[in-house]
Amino acid sequence: MSLVVVGSIAFDSVRTPFGERERMLGGSAVHFALAASFFSDVRVVGPVGDDFGEAEYAVLHARAIDTSDVEHVPGGQTFHWRGRYEYDLNTAHTEDTQLGVFGGFEPKLSDESRAAGMLFLANIQPELQRAVRAQCDRARLVGLDSMNLWIETARDSLLQAIAEVDLVFMNDAEVRMVTEQPNLVRAARQLLGVGPRAVVAKQGEYGAALFTGDRFFSLPAYPLETVVDPTGAGDSFAGGFMGYMASRPEGAPDDEDELRRAMTYGSVLASFNVEGFGTERMERLEREDIARRYEEFRSITALAEVPSA
């Protein structure tokens, strides 16, 4: 099943305790698409400027990602984010944000994108998310991500957007923030009441939690000895999750086991993403690497059988 992602395409300048990079390829749509492309056909919708060239397109095309709906804005500059991380890699310190062409982004979807079976609304203004969702009325499964900025400045609009999708991806603090509930379980249940079928609470180095109806599933992060750059990890998680779901019959939106497998694949893809700066690790990744780590993850998280009395 085809999968469309609408979000940012960017250049990121990042410094961590383990090194730094200037103007490396990034953005929510890029990280998502690279992860999802290991499972499904992916189309990217987002704006770029004159500084986005063949080398950047080549990274996407190497994974057979369709860039037909990438909008080139003549005379414009691509969104640029500069940030740094301390040894606690859970929090990014933003040093500069240049929105460039992303500041006036109005998603333009081709007929092929509007007809896609699955849609992911990356972290963009909630009204834009709703406008795209309305265009993709044939999508069987729709996911959404957001952030504290939109919770603080456009909460009502964000809740309306959440009501119109099937899956919500937010970090645990954002789930509590948007519902104004201090307890994550209670907050997720309240968010489910708005309309989505499932809420995925990302918890960084501690993993992620899945809430569906009255069911709960928690998964730790894959244990890594080397974490270089966490930028885009959440988008890679969502890409692995949604990409896997797109590979299943009809997207399997109501199959609890499939959702749990999607969680595991999302965690696996996120674990690869953080092993290099930007897209460096994902560019070298092979499908066999994913299968191997998935099986390792399964063995790590499997419960031992209790011997019979």
Determine, yes or no, domain membership for 119. Answer: yes
Lowest mean pLDDT among 83-97, 173-187, 242-256, 287-301: 242-256
* Predicted confidence (pLDDT) per residue in 34-80, tens digit: 999 999 999 999 999 999 999 999 999 999 999 999 999 999 999 99
Rounded to two decimals, the pTM is 0.95
Determine, yes or no, domain membership for 120. Answer: yes
Quickly tell me which residue has 């990274």 as its tokens: 59
Q: Are 36 and 246 in contact (CB under 8 A)?
A: yes
* Predicted confidence (pLDDT) per residue in 148-185, tens digit: 989 999 999 999 999 999 999 999 999 999 999 999 99
Determine, yes or no, domain membership for 134. Answer: yes
Total number of domains constituting the chain: 1
Determine, yes or no, domain membership for 128. Answer: yes
The per-residue pLDDT of the chain, averaged, comes to 93
Distance (Å, whole) CA 237 – CA 183: 23
Find the domain containing 287 and state its range. Answer: 3-301
Determine, yes or no, domain membership for 307. Answer: no
**Residue 99 maps to which CATH number?**
3.40.1190.20
Determine, yes or no, domain membership for 40. Answer: yes
Distance (Å, whole) CA 216 – CA 210: 6
Distance (Å, whole) CA 26 – CA 32: 10
Q: 141: which residues sit within 8 A by CB, 6+ positions away?
A: 117, 118, 119, 166, 167, 242, 245, 246, 251, 253
Determine, yes or no, domain membership for 129. Answer: yes
Q: Please measure the distance between the N-terminal and C-terminal CA atoms of the chain and give it in whole angstroms.
A: 47
Determine, yes or no, domain membership for 306. Answer: no
